[in-house]
Structure 1
Amino acid sequence: MAGAALVWDRVQRRLRAELGEDVYTSWFKCLELVQVQNDTVILSVPTKFLRNWIQQHFIEKIMAHFQKEDARLSRVSIVMRSASLRTAPRPEAPKAAEQARKFSSQEAPAALRPMGEGAIKPIETRVQEGHEGDLQVGSPLDKRLVLGAFQVGRSNVMAHAAAMQIVQAKTGEMPVFNPLYVHASVGLGKTHLLQGAAQAIESSGRRVLYLTAERFMYGFVASLKAQTAIAFKDTLRGIDVLIIDDAQFLQGPKSQQEFCHTLNALIDAGKQVVVAADRAPSDLEGIEERVQSRLAGGLVVEIGALDDALRVKILESRIQIAKAHLPGFDVPPDVIQHVARAITTNGRDLEGAVNRLLAHSTLTGGSLDIAAADEAIRDLVRHREPRRVKIEDIQRLVANHYNVSRADILSSRRTATVVRPRQIAMYLAKSLTLRSLPEIGRRFGGRDHTTVLHAVRKIEGMVTTDQELAGEIDHLKRMLQE
């Protein structure tokens, strides 16, 4: 056993180095070696939640490190800790017991707890009382993602206004839009908006819980296994604001059923629900129709692609943050404009561009002109194959650009505010896709191919004389192809 203890000590050091101090402290501090039996390593933990989490996420890493120490070991078994597992007292037992006691009373990372003054506490994992449950459901919040740092532009002004209405609501006030559903492609700021709103609501004293869909599913499944499902449900339904991110990952009939029940219970009780995903409710694949219908029953807001002005604002904001840590860092206005035109994908790439400019400035000591900026960000603007454009993407982008709904474009409405965007969307569908005129007509509310042909010819004629319209269409083409 003494030799096994030394091997275990080395494995712990490897895990700490590989995963980092925070992850190691959260999940491995209470893990203890029981014995090595033939080719099997037996480890113990104080709670069922810990055992399940480590088995699902880290068991292969642990096994790999043991095999590096002894190739004869081929299996790791994790068991619940009990007095019978220990053949003799160990010097560190009081410390381990203290760690287990702390974990069981949920002194885990604070970011995993529901937030707000007087917020409900997670279901406690009381091993001594026989309750081996779990509801460390709150997902971590990034303290940098506050509403004050969220840059507002034409593409996200409505989503920001809706979020601010929720943030500024009083305790007990009935929600105006419930649920609020925000959807956007990757890197356009929906997670920043949700996390910023969660932190602002927390500071107002209301009880708020921010969850990713994955965390919701894991918490629900874990509560079923631990037989604490009722407490799980009661906890979720006892908060003032529930925020769910990445709803497109919500899978499994039981998880979706519980999610739908939770939405209904909170909305019926006048509690605010906010949901975000990378697509509209009707486009969520694998999600039950009743869940889609419930999500679409409130206010659905899309965050569109970043326009030129918003990309400049984001760059300027990130540069100011960088200058707070390095006062000598400066980017000329013409370079900012150039980078904003060169990187049009999403906010994450813009942040990456600022990091590269900062690295160039500090590591080379050279001045930042347009040529130097091109060199620094070349990997972010590398030439890519134009992406395949979908008619649905065209309809959504055009609708957002002209402040109408996609349903308006597909409808039979003949008002000027709808007809022009519809014709432009048809023109773009013919220009940017390989779809035939009859197919395009079907995708635009079952219209005849002659209607599509008329729209295409009309827009073709107008762009030759209307420079403003030509510029708008070129802008839309770039956004669709990037």
Structure 2
Amino acid sequence: MTETSSASQRDLWTRVRARLKAAVGEDVFTSWFARLELEELVDDMVHLSAPTRFLCSWVQSNYSDRIVEAFRHDVPEAARLQVTLRVNGQARPRLAPAPAVAAAAAETVEEAPAKAASQHAALEPAPVARLVREAQKGDALAGSAIDSRMTFDTFVSGEANEMAFGVAKQIANAAINNTVTFNPVYIHSTVGLGKSHLLNAIAHAVSQADATKNIVYLTADHFMYHFITAVQRQSALGFKEWLRKVDLLLIDDMQFLQGKSATEFGHTLGALLTGAKQVVVAGDAPPRDLEMLDERVRSRLSGGLVVPISTFDMDLRRAIVQRRADQATQRFGMHFPPAVLDYVARAVTSHGRDLDGAVNRLVAANQLTGELITVPLAEKTLADLIRARDAKRVRIEDILKIVSRHYKVPRNELLSARRSRDVVRPRQIAMYLAKALTSRSLPEIGRRFGGRDHTTVLHSVRKVEQMIKDDLELGQEIELLKRMLEE
């Protein structure tokens, strides 16, 4: 292959990522491709790495041809793809192609003892480990790995998340004592506010207290993978029975569940609730906004305990930064002045992961340059992070809410097939705003607006653009809506 230097390899990967995003849309790209990294190009082999076993197997099984095709624009010799696990920033050596699920299961069994002993990495509760051992005999059922770093002890609570924190601890205690409190429990927030941490903490606490508990923690994409694989292998009944025998089911990233997998989740949820088994779900929106689920499932989730986590206030951000800085001080012996902690908490307002990243950057800057950790160093080191977060990310759901309230049209009617003027015009304006203020493609916008075709979205955008030219008052009205969405 012609791409050899690290710089040219990085450029190549940037171009390939851009092609993939254009081909599959931002939602799919974010779900499956954003965390991949290009490791090397050898002969006709493209070697990528991923941070989880599941992502390795899913991409290898479902997107090999698409990824190789994206590489061929620059590297005509590309013919094969290998995706391997990346641990602590390092990719494993390239592996010989093998059935994705079997490879993932074998890898799990081989690595679990070493990781548990030396790295405190992915914790495999006893029931899950047993299922993985059975996978070697042909049963590919296993939960997503639990991150043992995400415990109740490492969770920083404050006004924004104290209710969710308290509920999560209560659920864990009840499960340990073979009782069920609130059921189902649904935790929702925007990205990076601690939903996954709480689900992992529940699983960790229960499995540590009682290793006989059958605990299954699944991300939504992992749930879909299991379901699709079961259907392909004509073992869907076994998949359903496996899920319905759990004592505690935790589903993360609910917003990514789609298609028949969403229907199967509804059946599973009903069966578990009927059997008084604890279910905890996390997503980025309230149950009523999970449009991929049917009304009955949304109603079941809403009928349990719905717990929001709100945006972190200054006090909570400061507490998180202090905790991360204390950990860095214990590990590396460096000093974080209070003024620096105050600056980071004030300047990085997005979410907890960015706060963690900010502290990590300061640690790296100190170790690489020898500079003392000061406010000027923080300003220089975190400049791009702060700029990247300055502009608010507008979601289609935000647009639907604002337009619905402004024009007094129920949200469900904006997504319906109604063609009356009092609905059509606000719907067209909402589509126009979605195109203008988000990075979503026309097909993606169409899907979010009741499954419409991309040509309908394009017609609406052009229609509103013409109306703005012809009607000054309408133009001012739409500018007002934009400001409301961007504030």
Give the structure-2-normalised TM-score. Answer: 0.61
Aligned to 1:107: 109
The superposition leaves residues 23-64 of structure 1 with CA deviations (integer Å, 9 ceiling, x where unpaired) of 69x97xxxxxxxxxxxxxxxxxxxxxx7x8733143556789
The farther-off stretch of 143-152 and 274-283 is 143-152
Aligned positions of 1:123-162 closer than 5 A: 124-125=134-135, 132-136=138-142, 138-162=143-167
Q: Which amino acid aligns with 2:147?
A: D
> Given that residues 242 and 273 in structure 1 are in contact (C-alpha distance below 8 angstroms), is that contact kept between their aligned partners in structure 2?
yes
SS at match of 1:300: strand
Aligned positions of 1:137-286 closer than 5 A: 138-171=143-176, 173-205=178-210, 206-252=213-259, 254-286=260-292
Instruction: Give me the whole-angstrom Cα distance separating, in 2, the residues matched to 1:122 and 1:275.
Output: 23
Larger Rg belongs to: 1
Q: Displacement of 1:218 after TM fit?
A: 0.9
Matched, 1:380 2:385: yes
Instruction: Give me the whole-angstrom Cα distance separating, in 2, the residues matched to 1:315 and 1:267.
Output: 39
The farther-off stretch of 189-198 and 307-316 is 189-198
Instruction: Give me the whole-angstrom Cα distance separating, in 1, the residues matched to 2:221 and 2:52.
Output: 20
> Given that residues 155 and 304 in structure 1 are in contact (C-alpha distance below 8 angstroms), is that contact kept between their aligned partners in structure 2?
yes
SS at match of 1:182: strand
Aligned CA distance change for structure 1 residues 334 and 394 (closer, same or farther; 3 Å): farther
Aligned to 1:361: 366
> Given that residues 218 and 250 in structure 2 are in contact (C-alpha distance below 8 angstroms), is that contact kept between their aligned partners in structure 1?
yes
Instruction: Give me the whole-angstrom Cα distance separating, in 2, the residues matched to 1:18 and 1:441.
Output: 47
Instruction: Give me the whole-angstrom Cα distance separating, in 1, the residues matched to 2:404 and 2:67.
Output: 49
* 1:19 equivalent among 38, 41, 49: 49
Aligned to 1:121: 131
Aligned CA distance change for structure 1 residues 186 and 217 (closer, same or farther; 3 Å): same
> Given that residues 106 and 124 in structure 1 are in contact (C-alpha distance below 8 angstroms), is that contact kept between their aligned partners in structure 2?
no
Instruction: Give me the whole-angstrom Cα distance separating, in 2, the residues matched to 1:268 and 1:193.
Output: 24
Aligned to 1:319: 325
Matched, 1:347 2:352: yes
Aligned CA distance change for structure 1 residues 74 and 226 (closer, same or farther; 3 Å): same
Q: CA RMSD in A?
A: 4.3
Q: Which amino acid aligns with 2:305?
A: L
Gaps of 5+ in 2: 1-39, 82-97, 113-120, 412-483
Identity %: 37
Q: Displacement of 1:174 after TM fit?
A: 3.0
Instruction: Give me the whole-angstrom Cα distance separating, in 2, the residues matched to 1:106 and 1:140.
Output: 9
The superposition leaves residues 404-427 of structure 1 with CA deviations (integer Å, 9 ceiling, x where unpaired) of xxxxxxxxxxxxxxxxxxxxxxxx
> Given that residues 256 and 291 in structure 1 are in contact (C-alpha distance below 8 angstroms), is that contact kept between their aligned partners in structure 2?
no
SS at match of 1:367: coil
Aligned positions of 1:462-477 closer than 5 A: none
> Given that residues 180 and 300 in structure 1 are in contact (C-alpha distance below 8 angstroms), is that contact kept between their aligned partners in structure 2?
yes
SS at match of 2:217: strand
Aligned CA distance change for structure 1 residues 101 and 118 (closer, same or farther; 3 Å): closer
Instruction: Give me the whole-angstrom Cα distance separating, in 2, the residues matched to 1:159 and 1:229.
Output: 34
Instruction: Give me the whole-angstrom Cα distance separating, in 1, the residues matched to 2:485 and 2:342.
Output: 21
> Given that residues 230 and 239 in structure 2 are in contact (C-alpha distance below 8 angstroms), is that contact kept between their aligned partners in structure 1?
yes
Aligned CA distance change for structure 1 residues 217 and 342 (closer, same or farther; 3 Å): same
SS at match of 1:121: helix
Aligned to 1:457: none
Aligned to 1:40: none
The superposition leaves residues 2-28 of structure 1 with CA deviations (integer Å, 9 ceiling, x where unpaired) of xxxxxxxx988986964389969x97x
Q: Which amino acid aligns with 2:166?
A: A
Instruction: Give me the whole-angstrom Cα distance separating, in 2, the residues matched to 1:145 and 1:183.
Output: 17
Instruction: Give me the whole-angstrom Cα distance separating, in 2, the residues matched to 1:307 and 1:227.
Output: 50
Aligned CA distance change for structure 1 residues 352 and 121 (closer, same or farther; 3 Å): same
